[in-house]
Chain A
């Protein structure tokens, strides 16, 4: 059987071993351009009218996009609404999407832009003061956080995740960051994007990503230590 792969301007046909070579080549190109081959194939199917493809893409990314938005906007109701808005925009603009960038980078960019715009609109609304929250916070969790920050040992992710109060404290710390710092911390440390992808999502230069992330982490550490 002859298989033809048309991927991001690269067309490669082959049968048997040739098809595998094509797939490897496509994956190499995709990796060099931070593109997920599976996503690209689904997008191409969707653009040709396969509605099942979009369902797969939505199922794959709805959770991640919701979490990204929630971490940036800190409001579950708004996050739910913004997640839907993101997918509306994705569906509306899928015809314009070209496989030069990865689908999820593109979708994340839409999500981040929508969320930051939402945050700008709601800028006048102040969230609950940190002091008030801290007063209600768990003293034990605060001590645990201070121990982690001062201890030479790295924290155990599983233990942190199980400690709801500690997680709440960290999230409060993230919420105290300004929007730009919060977004870059979420993209890097929660979503695990590399610098190039972050630059693409935020529409900035690589150097800006480095300096902004550095400042954001320093600020977060200060906030967490103050807790």
Chain B
């Protein structure tokens, strides 16, 4: 039998002499060996070959190997103790970091807890508005005059001493009538200089330059139709460029009063006071609120009022101080609902 051509039998015999066969396989091999002389002879050859190799005596490792390994172990032990020292230092640092982190987390949690407790037991959130000093609102100033009834250039007037109130925004459901009234009012007030822009339906913008007396007169006139405005907002310039105070639900006399202040600080402060006052009044409409200013409300100049239904020209008398040098610069924007 050629065992090179029957590698499986060779493997089986090798597994037999290595005791790697199951009981059944061993029985099969033993039967094969009994029945086949060639296989039996091959088995004996393999056993002898294995026995020869197994009989080789082990070589003693040279002393240098043992010494080298002992040296290795000593250096390893030293390294281990050094590394243990490093580990302990690293551990201490790690512990410190963990303590710091834990403290931070505790502080954070206490903060959150405090905030929650404050929210629960603290004063209720007031609807008292914080008077916002806001960035410039998107107000379109009247820059494109389409209707100039008075031959006075507004730009020329800007050179004189001027109080910049910036913008009065009025919103009404009765836009046509109210706007006609405002137009007429401006036309019939020679102490007012203005530019009107009406480039969008339902929106009119007026840039007005007038004395403080003239403004008071105009506000007095506007007061007659004030109830027709659903929203009245005055935006007042502050010392900071681009920062404004917004006074919601502003009243005509308040506008006049703000304009009467000589300094920008005074105007800003009063505007903030009025903003607060108006907001409180809005919250508690039945309560009579005192003015934010300690002095009494200004008396408005009473002038003959234009009549909405009449096309007749009225002869008007200039109000007191109508021709003062100190000018008020104000944009009035009247808008209706679309």
Please give, as numbers and ranges, the residues of chain B lying within 8 Å of A151 by CB-CB distance: 48
Cβ–Cβ contact B49 & A220, under 8 A: yes
- Out of A62, A67, A148, name the residue touching B59 (CB < 8 Å): A67
Residue from B45, B52, B64, B80 having most chain A Cβ neighbours under 10 A: B52
Cβ–Cβ contact B55 & A66, under 8 A: no
Cβ–Cβ contact A80 & B62, under 8 A: yes
Please give, as numbers and ranges, the residues of chain B lying within 8 Å of A97 by CB-CB distance: none
Give bound CA distance, A66 to B68, whole Å: 13
A62-B66, A80-B62, A220-B53 known; A91 and B14 CB under 8 Å?
no
* Interface pick from A19-27, A101-109, A133-141, A208-216: A208-216
Cβ–Cβ contact B80 & A83, under 8 A: no
Does B77 lie at the interface of the complex (its beta carbon under 8 Å from any beta carbon of A)?
Answer: yes
B:39-89 near A, CB below 8 Å: 44-62, 64-66, 68-69, 72-73, 76-77, 80, 84
Give bound CA distance, A83 to B68, whole Å: 10
- Out of A63, A70, A145, A217, name the residue touching B46 (CB < 8 Å): A217
- Out of B11, B61, B76, B77, name the residue touching A214 (CB < 8 Å): B11
Give bound CA distance, A6 to B46, whole Å: 43
Cβ–Cβ contact A154 & B53, under 8 A: no
Cβ–Cβ contact B45 & A157, under 8 A: no
Cβ–Cβ contact B61 & A66, under 8 A: yes
A63-B58, A155-B48, A195-B20 known; A211 and B65 CB under 8 Å?
no
Does A9 lie at the interface of the complex (its beta carbon under 8 Å from any beta carbon of B)?
Answer: no
Cβ–Cβ contact A87 & B54, under 8 A: no
Does B273 lie at the interface of the complex (its beta carbon under 8 Å from any beta carbon of A)?
Answer: no
Cβ–Cβ contact A194 & B20, under 8 A: yes
A51-B76, A88-B72 known; A211 and B7 CB under 8 Å?
yes
In the complex, what's the smallest C-beta–C-beta distance from B141 to chain A, in angstroms? 77
Does A54 lie at the interface of the complex (its beta carbon under 8 Å from any beta carbon of B)?
Answer: yes
In the complex, what's the smallest C-beta–C-beta distance from A167 to chain B, in angstroms? 6
Cβ–Cβ contact B65 & A83, under 8 A: yes
In the complex, what's the smallest C-beta–C-beta distance from A35 to chain B, in angstroms? 19
Does A190 lie at the interface of the complex (its beta carbon under 8 Å from any beta carbon of B)?
Answer: yes
Give bound CA distance, A116 to B11, whole Å: 25
Cβ–Cβ contact B72 & A221, under 8 A: no
Cβ–Cβ contact A189 & B48, under 8 A: no
Give bound CA distance, A31 to B202, whole Å: 97
Please give, as numbers and ranges, the residues of chain B lying within 8 Å of A66 by CB-CB distance: 59, 61, 65
Cβ–Cβ contact B11 & A210, under 8 A: yes
Does A218 lie at the interface of the complex (its beta carbon under 8 Å from any beta carbon of B)?
Answer: yes
Please give, as numbers and ranges, the residues of chain A lying within 8 Å of B62 by CB-CB distance: 76, 80
Cβ–Cβ contact B72 & A62, under 8 A: no
Interface range on chain A: under 10, 10 to 19, 20 to 34, or 35 or more?
Answer: 35 or more
Give bound CA distance, A155 to B73, whole Å: 41
Does B18 lie at the interface of the complex (its beta carbon under 8 Å from any beta carbon of A)?
Answer: yes
Give bound CA distance, A157 to B58, whole Å: 12
Cβ–Cβ contact A91 & B76, under 8 A: yes
- Out of A76, A80, A157, A215, name the residue touching B55 (CB < 8 Å): A157
- Out of A64, A70, A149, name the residue touching B48 (CB < 8 Å): A149
Contact with B along A183-227 (1 / 0, CB 8 A): 001001110101100000000000000110111011011001000
Cβ–Cβ contact B72 & A154, under 8 A: no
Please give, as numbers and ranges, the residues of chain A lying within 8 Å of B54 by CB-CB distance: 157, 189-190, 192
Does A160 lie at the interface of the complex (its beta carbon under 8 Å from any beta carbon of B)?
Answer: yes
Cβ–Cβ contact B51 & A155, under 8 A: yes
A195-B18, A210-B14, A211-B11 known; A83 and B49 CB under 8 Å?
no
A80-B61, A210-B15 known; A221 and B10 CB under 8 Å?
no
Residues on A lying within 8 angstroms of B by beta carbon are: 49, 51, 54-55, 58, 62-64, 66-67, 70-71, 76, 80, 83-84, 87-88, 91, 145, 148-149, 151-152, 154-158, 160-161, 167, 170-171, 174, 185, 188-190, 192, 194-195, 210-211, 213-215, 217-218, 220-221, 224
Contact sample, A vs B, 10 pairs, CB 8 Å cutoff? A51-B76, A80-B61, A83-B69, A149-B52, A157-B54, A213-B14, A213-B18, A214-B11, A224-B49, A224-B52
New A-B contacts (15) at CB < 8 Å, excluding given A51-B80, A88-B72, A152-B44: A49-B84, A51-B76, A58-B69, A58-B73, A63-B61, A66-B65, A67-B59, A148-B52, A154-B47, A157-B51, A190-B53, A195-B20, A210-B15, A220-B49, A224-B49
